[in-house]
Amino acid sequence: MNSLAKLLEAALFASPRPIPVDELAALDPEASPAAVQSAIDELREHYDVDGHGVELVDVGGGWQVLTRPEYTEAIERAQMAVRPARLSPAALETLAIIAYRQPIGRAEVAEIRGVDVGAVIKGLHERGLIDVVGRAEGLGRALLYGTTSLFLEQFALRHLEELPRVDELAIALRRDGLLPADAPVVPPATDDGATAAAAAEAAPADAEPQPA
């Protein structure tokens, strides 16, 4: 390996988090962006071709060295490292909604899930997977949440666009105009007093930035 690749390897080994390319480049102020990129490529290829227990992964806007999955079980059995706890279904549902609808308020997440999400949102916030990214306009000025770089890292995503696009999902939503043309449903009634009132109750104006 060339000396830049070795330097990058040393830095990547030293860091528990992904390192963005520009920070890798800062390791050697003399190195051109092309040289940094080719050193990254060399390192990654080296791990792959030469047969290593680790690999170089492009994740969350940076590069990170991770162990290969086939060794995880043995490492955990020997108690040398512990896998992070799995997220509960409730946490995953909440995270999925926030990932796709960010910035989004708590009331709107609760509306989609059909259950209160206060405790789940608090837990996701404490784990650093979501953060407050703003406040809604209007009444109450509800806090709006979005996903963090740690979210990308923990789901091995380079960026949010790696999640399936909404129109690629099997179930398409009417709100995106994707309901089958012959679907026998019409937009929710708004002239029905009871329904409208119930909808208003379930979705306070503050947290409902719905596309008009």
Q: Which of residues 162-191 bind a copy of itself (CB under 8 A)?
A: 163-166, 188, 190
Residue 130 contact partner, candidates a copy of itself, other proteins, none, CB within 5 to 8 A by sort of partner: none
**Signed CA dihedral, 189, 192, 198, 202: sign only:** positive
Residues 44-73 that bind other proteins (CB under 8 A): 57, 64-69, 72
Nearer to other proteins, 45 or 137 (CB): 137
Distance from chain centroid for Cα 27: 28
86 interacts with a copy of itself by CB under 8 A: no
Site for other proteins in 75-134 (CB under 8 A): 75-76, 79-87, 89-90, 92-93, 95-97, 99-104, 112-116, 126-127
Contacts of 191 (CB under 8 A, 6+ apart): none
**37-63: b (≥16 Cβ within 10 Å) or e:** eebbebbbeebeeeeeeeebbebbbbb
The 26-55 contact track toward a copy of itself, x by CB under 8 A, reads xxx---------------------xxxxx-
For a copy of itself (CB under 8 A), the number of binding residues is 74
Q: Are 136 and 105 in contact (CB under 8 A)?
A: yes
